[in-house]
Chains A and B, each alone.
Chain A
């Protein structure tokens, strides 16, 4: 158990819909990272937040957005969903105090999103 929690575990929805994935980092970790793992693209970094502010952006689509709240939990919002958005979405956290990328990221168990 990494200490990072993600809800829900599974999500099934239809094309065109909007969903919100939630992540609670380990206690004391200031950085939260979001990743997408799909069958054809492997593991892709989406976005990093550090202490409430966006810190780094990866291959995140404009239809996707994220935020980190004052209590440090984070939400990833996916809108206008397409079939290709079906994937595992991981959240990770790290204690890195400078806000820079940290090797030692603790990953949550993921949310499996299925778009029908």
Chain B
């Protein structure tokens, strides 16, 4: 039972254009969402997060949008740069619960084309 789904295993985007990575979740108890980025041979690094009380959070070139009614979030990267080529993991947690452990999606591999 996959509670956090990233339906696109990979995505290719031209350098300078917008990259949009999508994530869907099924558990309505989730109230906190995160994106992690992972380069080969390294561990994931935290990128950006959003609480369910917001519908948008921006940090430089990275913006996360949350649509609670659709149980959908997306990560926008503008403009895309070669260093953005990596695997991106969407994750969710239910912080309002005592056991606020995190559930990850399977990841989307982003290729930025020159």
Which of chain A's residues have a CB closer than 8 A to the CB of B104? 42-45
- Which listed residue, A4, A45, A104, touches B43 by the CB 8 Å rule? A4
CA distance A103 to B46 in the complex (A): 7
- Which listed residue, B43, B46, B103, B106, touches A108 by the CB 8 Å rule? B43
Q: Which residues of A, 19-52, contact B by the 8 Å Cβ criterion?
A: 41-45, 48
Q: Which residue of A lies closest to B41 (CB)?
A: A109
Q: Which residue of A lies closest to B4 (CB)?
A: A42
Distance in angstroms from B90 CB to nearest chain A CB is 10
Whether B89 and A103, one on each chain, are in contact in the complex, defined by CB atoms closer than 8 angstroms, is no
CA distance A108 to B93 in the complex (A): 22
Chain B: interface size category: 20 to 34
Whether B44 and A107, one on each chain, are in contact in the complex, defined by CB atoms closer than 8 angstroms, is yes
Which of chain B's residues have a CB closer than 8 A to the CB of A56? 99-101
Distance in angstroms from A52 CB to nearest chain B CB is 19
Distance in angstroms from B70 CB to nearest chain A CB is 22
| Known contacts A41-B106, A42-B107; A101 and B101 CB within 8 A of each other | yes
Interface residues of B (CB under 8 A from A): 34, 36, 41-46, 49, 89, 91, 93, 95, 99-107
Cβ contacts A to B, 13 pairs, < 8 Å:
A42-B105, A43-B107, A48-B101, A57-B99, A58-B102, A90-B43, A101-B93, A101-B100, A105-B46, A106-B43, A107-B43, A109-B41, A109-B42
Interface residues of A (CB under 8 A from B): 2, 4, 41-45, 48, 56-58, 90, 92, 100-101, 103-110
